[in-house]
Amino acid sequence: SDLQKQEERGELLQPLIFVLLVLCSVLLYFKVSLMDPGFVKSEEEVKAGKSEEQSLVIPQVPSNIKMRRCGYCLVKQPMRAKHCQLCQHCVRRYDHHCPWIENCVGEKNHPLFIVYLSVQLVVLLWGGHIAWSGLYFEQSWDWLQHNILLLMSFLLIVVFTIVVLLLLISHLYLISCNTTTWEFMSHHRISYLRHSELENPFDQGVVLNLWRFFC
C-alpha cells in the first residue's frame, strides 16, 4: 500500500499522522463510552440546579406541562429527559442508547459523540484509500489467495464508512433542527411536543441551534 511504501522510504509523517488518528479515535471511543451522558440526579440535586432549568424554558412549550416523576427510577424528569432501561437511569436531553458504545447519547456526551464519528469517518476514508492502493487486480486464483485479506478489509471498511457517514449526516441534521433522535422518532408520544403549537418548539434557527449545541 501507499502507506507501507512511504514507511519503507523513511517518509514517516503520513504513517505517524494515520497512527495518531487511529489512536485518537480509540481514545474518543472510550471517553464517550465511559462518561456520564447526563444522568438525571436525585431530587435534591435537581433543586440545586433549578435556576439553570428555568433559563432553558422555551416559551412556545405550554406552561401546563410539568416535570413528571419517572416510573422506573423515581426521579423528577426534566423536559427532554427519558429513562433508558438498558442504563437504568433517566438521561437529560436523551438522544438514543447506542449499542456501538454501550452507553446512552445524551446532553453531556452528544457533542463528543459527533466529534468521535467525524474522526472515525476520516480514519475509515483514509484506511479505505490505503487498502485500495495495495490492490492490483488480476484474474487469477493465485492473486486472490495473496490479496484476499486486503480485499476483505477494503470491503469491510466500505461498509463501516457508509454506516458512519449516514449516522453522522442524520445527527448533524437533527442537531441543526435542535431535536433528538428520540423526539424525531416518537414525536406523537411526547407530551411537550404533542401539545405544543409548533412542530418543534426548540428550533431557534440552524446557526443558533449549531452554536448552542457545540459551543
Catalytic residue, candidates 98, 104, 177, 215: 98
Structural domains of the chain, count: 1
Give domain status of residue 169, yes or no. yes
> Dihedral of CA 46/50/54/55: which sign?
negative
Residue written as grid cell 426521579: 75
Q: Is 93 part of any domain?
A: no
> Is 98 an active-site residue?
yes
Could you list the residue range(s) of the whole structural domain that residue 140 is in? 2-37+101-214
Is residue 186 in a domain? Answer: yes
In this predicted structure, which of 1-10, 47-56, 68-77, 154-163 has the lowest mean pLDDT?
A: 47-56
Q: For 18-36, what is each residue's pLDDT tens digit?
A: 999 999 999 999 999 999 9
The answer as to whether 68 is a domain residue is no
18-27, 32-41, 122-131, 146-155: which has the minimum mean pLDDT?
146-155
The pTM of the full predicted model, rounded to 2 decimals, is: 0.83
Rounded mean pLDDT, 104-132: 94
Tell which residue, 74, 73, 68, has the closest CA to residue 86. 73
Distance in angstroms (rounded) separating the CA atoms of residues 81 and 93: 5
The whole-number average pLDDT for the span 143-163 is 87
Is 45 a domain residue?
no
Tens-digit pLDDT profile for residues 50-96: 544 444 545 455 555 566 788 888 888 888 999 999 998 999 999 99
In 85-193, DSSP assigns E strands to 89-91, 96-98, 103-105
- Could you tell me if residue 11 is inside a domain? yes
From start to end of 159-206, where are the E strands? none
177 found inside a domain = yes
